[in-house]
Amino acid sequence: MFGRREFLAGAAALGLVENASAAVLSGGAADKAVDAFLRTQPFQGVVLIGKAGKPIYSRTVGFADIEAKTPAALDTPYVIASISKWLTSTAILKLVEAGKLDLDAPISTYLPDYRADTGAKVKLRHLMTNISGVPNGFATWTKANPDPDLFKKSFTTAQAVKLWCSGDLAFEPGTKFDYALTNWVIITAIIEAVTGKPFAQAMAELITGPLGLTRTKPVDPPNIAVSYRTLEPLVRQSNERFPFFAASGGYASTAGDLLKAAHAVFDGGFLPPARKKQLLTVGWPDQDYALGGRVKTLFADGMPRVFAWETGRAAGYRSVLGHRFDDQTTVVLLNNTSITQKAMDEFASSLFGTV
């Protein structure tokens, strides 16, 4: 059913939401909000606030590498985890616009070797909304076959789909929400099938290259912030992953790259209006989930305002990319100290001046 959330998201995508004076914080007000957060949370990382793609406030806190005493910097890359889904979804919509994909086509259209019964039921849109019913076979398989050297082994995307993404449906597509990474492994296979290129290359040509995201990579770049499980005692936490996990949560990026991407995708013409509306239309209201990310309503300036709300959590990394549509303000938070995602969301909300 097309309800209030869907209407607001679609209106935001088409620029129909009423403008208002910006409530986002900057200067001394932002400093006070950051200081208040630091009194209660062991945040270390980067805070960046922008308007129309331009920074209006930035602050770095603590260390990217505590042992080496390497301070966090604006250009420090962090793993952005599930914000990768938003980048992947944007790439898919570029392929839809090019006539190479259809969100409502069965996945067997693009993966003819996929099991016929499930492949005829599950649509690309189901995968992107995490409502496909495809079970997380990777979690089941690794629990039954514990292997400390698993991530040292090589699997192709096709092998991963066959091993972990082809089980019996856990529920009928479109009837439940399940944040399963296997949705995105299948998406990776589809992107590779229709482009004829490895996923990373396809993403570079569709997204990171055209947007100028020079510091956004599907593998850990040099000088990436270290992930910490705890600070007392100081314990690092590894974030091993396979290349075919990149679509779901494998990318690393910087605050500046995310600000640039948010402005181009949400405010600019990188996606045509019809594709932007698809990206932002909520498909599972209980989770505020659209395609590869969330769109939700928060109160600012005494009125309900529509925000894109992309978050990421992997190992000790925590990230938020929040964007308010009507005034084109953006908050980017990148952290490496395992604080709760709820705390990160509340921090971002406070910087937007929301209630």
Distance CA 111, CA 45 (A): 41
Residue type, 231: L
Q: Give the structural domain span for 274.
A: 4-352
Q: What is the pTM of this model?
A: 0.93
Count the Cβ atoms, other than its own, within 10 Å of residue 355. 10
Q: What is the DSSP letter of 109?
A: G
Q: Are strands 294-300 and 317-324 parallel, antiparallel or unpaired?
A: unpaired
- CA 350, chain centre distance (Å): 21
Could you give the number of structural domains in the chain?
Answer: 1
Per-residue pLDDT of the chain (355 residues), as tens digits, is 334 444 444 554 544 444 555 589 999 999 999 999 999 999 999 999 999 999 999 999 999 999 999 999 999 999 999 999 999 999 999 999 999 999 999 999 999 999 999 999 999 999 999 999 999 999 888 888 888 889 889 999 999 999 999 999 999 999 999 999 999 999 999 999 999 999 999 999 999 999 999 999 999 999 999 999 999 999 999 999 999 999 999 999 999 999 999 999 999 999 999 999 999 999 999 999 999 999 999 999 889 999 999 999 999 999 999 999 999 999 999 999 999 999 999 999 999 998 6
CATH of the domain at 329: 3.40.710.10
Selection from 350, 338, 347 nearest residue 81 by Cα: 338
